[in-house]
Amino acid sequence: MPVPIDLAALVRRHQAGLWRYLRALGAPEDLAEDLMQDTFLVAMDRLGEDRGDAAAAAFLRRTARHLLLRRRRDLGRREAILIDLADAAWRRDCGEDDGELWLASLRACLDRLEGRAREVVQRFYGEGQDRAAVAAAMGMKANGVKTLLQRVRAALRGCIEQRIGGAA
């Protein structure tokens, strides 16, 4: 009579090896963690009976490899779509002047920034500081810097669109 799979025992026996396998295939740590969890979910659905450690390990490696390849293929598709969209936007908005109008508009909008907004943009984009460094220098929390950057980007986007719209 077949012995049902004990998922908790399967995870305990194969978790470390599966994670190392995914890392050896080139998955970053966080992706390896995600794929490992997904692999065990597939095992929970598809492994009906315990066929031994060697068979289980082989199944887990095949599944993890397949999931990694599928993730990379899906990311490649998304990247191709983003490239196509960016290309279309460039041709529409910058094709005639190689982006000079957009760049001039950005510079003019940046010149209008004052106070904390100007400082956060200078530190983050001009000096390349990360959010934690900007937060420490400006006496803020990292989430506050994130929120301020979001607001400044939205304001700059609006300013640029207004200037471009007026020029068109």
Same domain, 108 and 138: yes
**Confidence (pLDDT) at 83:** 85
Q: Which residues pair with 49 in a beta bridge?
A: 4
- Residue 1: inside a domain, yes or no? no
**pLDDT, tens digit only, all 168 positions of the chain:** 555 677 888 899 999 999 999 999 999 999 999 999 999 999 988 887 767 788 889 999 999 999 999 999 988 888 888 888 888 888 887 878 878 898 899 999 999 999 999 999 999 999 999 999 999 999 999 999 999 999 999 999 999 999 988 655
- What is the per-residue pLDDT for 15? 93
Please state the separation of Cα 126 from the chain's center in Å.
23
3-state secondary structure of 127: coil
Q: Is residue 35 part of a domain?
A: yes
Q: Range of 37's domain?
A: 7-84
Q: Which pLDDT does position 141 carry in this prediction?
A: 94
Domain annotation covers residue 89:
no
Q: Which amino acid is at 39?
A: T
In this structure, are 57 and 32 located in the same domain? yes
pLDDT at 115: 94
Q: What domain count does the chain have?
A: 2
Q: Is residue 90 part of a domain?
A: no
Tell whether 80 and 36 lie within a shared domain.
yes
Q: For the chain, first and last CA: distance in Å?
A: 77
